[in-house]
Amino acid sequence: MDSLISIIVPIYNVEQYFGECLDSLFTQTYHKIEYVFVNDATPDKSMQVLDEYIKKYSISNSCLIINSPKNQGLAATRIKGIKAAHGDYFMFCDSDDFISSNAVESMLFCAINEDADIVETNMQYNMDDGFKILKREKKTEVQDYLYELISFKAAPSLMGKLYKKELFEDVDDLFLKGKDFIEDTYASPLLYSKAKKISNLDEVTYYYRTNNMTSHSHGAKWQKIEDLVFAVNKLEKIFCKDDNSVYCDAVNEAKYRIKSIYYPAYSPEDRLKISKLFPEIDNYVRSKSIRERTLWYLIRHNNFLFYRVERKILNMVGKL
């Protein structure tokens, strides 16, 4: 295997965790790697950590460092990294996460052996009280992967995957600048729609940290809802313009999930706003189970008290 792999790493407020990330990147069993670090005007000492580890591993010739004069957000940072990368394949690693020592070698072998445009692997979510494995399921058709991503049934993360560089030719159209809570929610379906072959590797290669409250991925809760609504409406225009019933159902499912998942987790003021989202999918919800229809009705009318009671009752019935 002689392909060049570009690993694109955004940097913002990761001083505490960056060393573990860099250790995992610089000790890969595959060595033809270009490391593209994009400093999004981080205010902490992350860049000093990077400099120390580059010297520790004597790896400066393999590193490309891009410095943004001001903070631009995750989507813009990824675009910069992609445009600067020279690899035959791209990977993404957030600078507070880390990867397995054979991640690059395993995914590249799979990509070449199966002529895949995208290789998926499993992820481990590291939390304060333990960890959880995200096992990505193998599908037979690209359309099946797309349905799962558009509908939000599958995690849209860009990480833990290997991509052929050709998928990023229209990179400015892949990411929504300023919509940093959902940059992968929007980009992943577009990338998958370009792929001819997607392969799965049943091993954990990516370790995701959930407790860094200063990273790009944490911030204002309501802004996340606004970004999700914006993304799903954009995806609807792209994938439903030909009245494709499969993808239109996927968009409706995404709207249903946004409203159902986030409604109980938000403040009374925000719950009222969530209750008013997506009235156009009422007919779609009628095809769901009695339990789902009942909870949807209570969300639509913002009756949080009865919603909580109904959820408790339905959960108790489900355990009988």
The pLDDT tens digits for 76-115 are: 999 999 999 999 999 999 999 999 999 999 999 999 999 9
φ and ψ at residue 302, rounded to 5 degrees: 50, 45
255: nearest Cα among 238, 273, 230: 230
Residue 215 falls within a domain, yes or no? Answer: no
200 and 295 assigned to the same domain: no
> What does the block give as tokens for 299?
């969300």
171 and 269 assigned to the same domain: no
Point out the domain boundary residue: 179, 209, 239.
209
Using DSSP bridges, classify how beta strands 5-11 and 89-92 pair: parallel, antiparallel or unpaired.
parallel
Residue 114 falls within a domain, yes or no? Answer: yes
191 and 75 assigned to the same domain: yes
Looking up residue 164, the CATH number of its domain turns out to be 3.90.550.10
Residue 214 falls within a domain, yes or no? Answer: no
266 and 132 assigned to the same domain: no
**Where does the pLDDT of residue 138 fall: very low under 50, low under 70, confident under 90, or very high at 90 and above?**
confident
All residues at 6 or more sequence positions from 244 whose CB lies less than 8 Å from its CB, including other chains:
none
> What does the block give as tokens for 309?
């009671």
Q: Residues 43-60: what's their mean pLDDT? A: 97
Residue 269 falls within a domain, yes or no? Answer: yes
Residue 255 falls within a domain, yes or no? Answer: yes
115 and 140 assigned to the same domain: yes
26 and 100 assigned to the same domain: yes
Compute the CA torsion angle 302, 306, 308, 313 (nearest 10 deg).
-140
Q: What is the pTM of this model?
A: 0.92
225 and 277 assigned to the same domain: yes
How many folded domains does the chain comprise?
2
Point out the domain boundary residue: 209, 242, 272.
209
State the alpha helices, DSSP H only, in the chain. 18-26, 46-57, 74-84, 103-114, 142-150, 171-174, 183-194, 221-239, 245-262, 268-275, 282-285, 290-300, 304-319
How far are the Cα atoms of 63, 82, 228 from residue 246, in angstroms, in the given order? 43, 31, 20
Greater model confidence, 210 or 117 = 117
Q: For residue range 245-289, what is the model confidence (pLDDT) as tens digits?
A: 889 999 999 999 999 999 999 999 999 999 999 999 999 999 999
105 and 44 assigned to the same domain: yes
Point out the domain boundary residue: 164, 183, 209.
209
Domain with 54 in it: 5-209
Residue 95 falls within a domain, yes or no? Answer: yes
16 and 151 assigned to the same domain: yes
How far are the Cα atoms of 12, 42, 78, 94 from residue 72, in angstroms, in the given order? 10, 10, 10, 16
Lowest mean pLDDT of 14-23, 49-58, 218-227, name the range.
218-227
Residue 293 falls within a domain, yes or no? Answer: yes
Residue 216 falls within a domain, yes or no? Answer: no
Q: Residues 172-184: what's their mean pLDDT? A: 91
Q: For residue range 210-225, what is the model confidence (pLDDT) as tens digits?
A: 865 455 444 458 999 9
